[in-house]
Amino acid sequence: MNLKALLPTRPHGESGWVGRVLTAGVVVAVLATARPADAWVWVVLSVSFVVFAVGSVLMASRPYAALALLSAVAVANALIAGYPQSNSLALVLVAITDIAVIDFKRHGNRPIVAAGIGVAAAYAGSAWWFGQPDTWYFTQLLWTAVLVAFGLNRRQSEVQARQTEQLLEQTRLAQSEHARAATLEERGRIARDLHDVLAHSLGALSVQLEVAEALLDERGDVNGALERVRRSRRLAVQGLTEARNAVAALRADSVPDLAQAVAALAEQHEKDHGTAVRMGVTGTVARTDSGVTVALLNAAREALTNAARHAPGQPIEIALAYADGVQLSVRNKGATVGDGFGLAGMRERLALVGGTLTAGPDGDDWLVVAEVPDE
């Protein structure tokens, strides 16, 4: 008898059905070689094969109905296994192995144990009825135990396969949610930085327009006011460009070098407001993360805008220090106002990248310090 050919395959899928058809074919071939002397044995074998086929079909959808049918096949054929040349052992083995493959969930292996006890008792009755020796009895038990072990192993493989599929599905869902959260986070970053860029540009624009209004109202200086209006136009164009660059930089995760960007910002502020801006860089310049760069650059913009609004014409000092992270400080003379003019929003932005921001008087100066340590 071909032991491997009698092993069950997966009850689901095309490959499972092909395997079951092959197994049934092997059983038919084994039964075809039977030579029982009595016709009733053929009746038992034929009916048992039909019941086995039905039970195999019901394994996935109706496990307990399949258990009843397959147990009946296993016990009935174990009872006639001792009949000479009945070959009923083939039906016993495929039926008991199918039972071992079924996942009974809450009941665990108890149905399999019950079926095994029934088959062992039927072997004993068959050995006694047909006069088989003890060696025959123990041989049948050995074959049955081996096939049950193969069935349990197959069931465990199928359970693990299902668990793996569920894990992969959960992983796919988790990755999908992670991607969605990342998208939302990026949108939030873009919205925050657009707000910062526009707030800086509109704040600077407001200062220029206030000066233009004062020149017209108090001095009647048309040329001076016109120059301020032209400067306001340049600021508006610059703000629009910065807004576009902020979106492009965040989307591509590509931003300019922090030191160069701050230097350009200081130079532009000096041109627009006629204020001396001095900048210094200490430490070894290192490339910073895009989120850190954008956050610090926006902090510098906000600090310069506040300086122009609350301490116009006063010199400004910008210091960029690289040591265990990066620190940006903006110091201007003469400002004594509080720090509620946009810097609270900067604190939130910096907190998102693990940084901090402080702002307050430092002697006669106003000092803003934004710092992001190394991870």
Compute the mean pLDDT over every residue in the chain, rounded to the nearest whole number: 78
Domain assignment present for residue 363? The answer is yes
194 shares its domain with 216: yes
126 shares its domain with 59: yes
Domain assignment present for residue 150? The answer is no
Q: Give me Rg for the CA atoms of the chain.
A: 42
Structural domain containing residue 77? 14-132
Q: How confident is the model at residue 2 (pLDDT cuts 50, 70, 90)?
A: very low
Q: Which of 250, 273, 304 is the last residue of a domain?
A: 250
Domain assignment present for residue 72? The answer is yes
In this prediction, residues 195-217 reach a mean pLDDT of 74
Residue 57's pLDDT is what? 83
105 shares its domain with 204: no
Dihedral sign (CA 218, 219, 222, 227): negative
Q: Tell me: the pLDDT tens digits for 248-259?
A: 555 545 566 888
Q: Is the pLDDT of residue 16 over 60?
A: no
Q: Are 316 and 277 in contact (CB under 8 A)?
A: yes
233 shares its domain with 262: no
Q: How confident is the model at residue 321 (pLDDT cuts 50, 70, 90)?
A: very high
Q: Tell me: the pLDDT tens digits for 264-285?
A: 888 888 887 788 899 999 988 8
In total, how many domains does the chain have? Answer: 3
Residue 8's pLDDT is what? 45
24 shares its domain with 118: yes
Q: Tell me: the pLDDT tens digits for 66-118?
A: 888 988 988 888 888 888 888 888 888 888 888 888 877 777 778 888 888 88
Instruction: Give the rounded percent of residues in the chain with a pLDDT score beyond 90.
Output: 6
Domain assignment present for residue 1? The answer is no
267 shares its domain with 245: no
- Of 322, 231, 238, nearest in space to 271 by CA: 231
363 shares its domain with 265: yes
Q: Which of 193, 215, 250 is the last residue of a domain?
A: 250
Characterize the bridge pairing of strands 356-362 and 325-333: unpaired
Q: How confident is the model at residue 338 (pLDDT cuts 50, 70, 90)?
A: very low
206 shares its domain with 313: no
Domain assignment present for residue 357? The answer is yes
- Start-end of H helices in the chain: 13-32, 39-57, 63-79, 89-101, 110-130, 134-214, 222-252, 258-273, 290-310, 343-352
Q: Are 48 and 77 in contact (CB under 8 A)?
A: yes
Domain assignment present for residue 281? The answer is yes
pTM reported for the whole predicted model: 0.42
Note the Cα 158 to chain centre separation in Å: 25
Q: Is the pLDDT of residue 162 over 80?
A: no
267 shares its domain with 239: no
276 shares its domain with 244: no
289 shares its domain with 200: no
Q: What DSSP character marks residue 217?
A: I
Q: Is the pLDDT of residue 339 over 60?
A: no
Domain assignment present for residue 165? The answer is no
Residue 183's pLDDT is what? 61
Cα separation, 94 vs 109, in Å, equals: 17
Angle between helices 222-252 and 290-310 (to 10 degrees): 160
b/e code 302-328 from CB counts within 10 Å (16+ = b): bbbbbbbbbbeebbbbbbbbbeebbbb
- Of 244, 232, 243, nearest in space to 203 by CA: 232
Count the neighbouring beta carbons within 10 Å of the beta carbon of residue 202. 14
Cα separation, 301 vs 316, in Å, equals: 13
Residue 371's pLDDT is what? 92
238 shares its domain with 339: no
Cα separation, 358 vs 187, in Å, equals: 26
Give every strand in the sheet of 365-373, ordered side by side. Answer: 277-283, 316-322, 325-333, 365-373, 356-362
Residue 318's pLDDT is what? 93
Cα separation, 70 vs 114, in Å, equals: 12
Cα separation, 69 vs 88, in Å, equals: 16
Q: Kindly state the tokens that stand for 241.
A: 């460009």
b/e code 137-156 from CB counts within 10 Å (16+ = b): beebeebbeebbebbeebbe
In this prediction, residues 165-177 reach a mean pLDDT of 79
CATH of the domain at 299: 3.30.565.10
Q: Which of 202, 228, 250 is the last residue of a domain?
A: 250
In this prediction, residues 123-133 reach a mean pLDDT of 88
Domain assignment present for residue 227? The answer is yes
Cα separation, 99 vs 90, in Å, equals: 14
Q: Is the pLDDT of residue 328 over 90?
A: yes
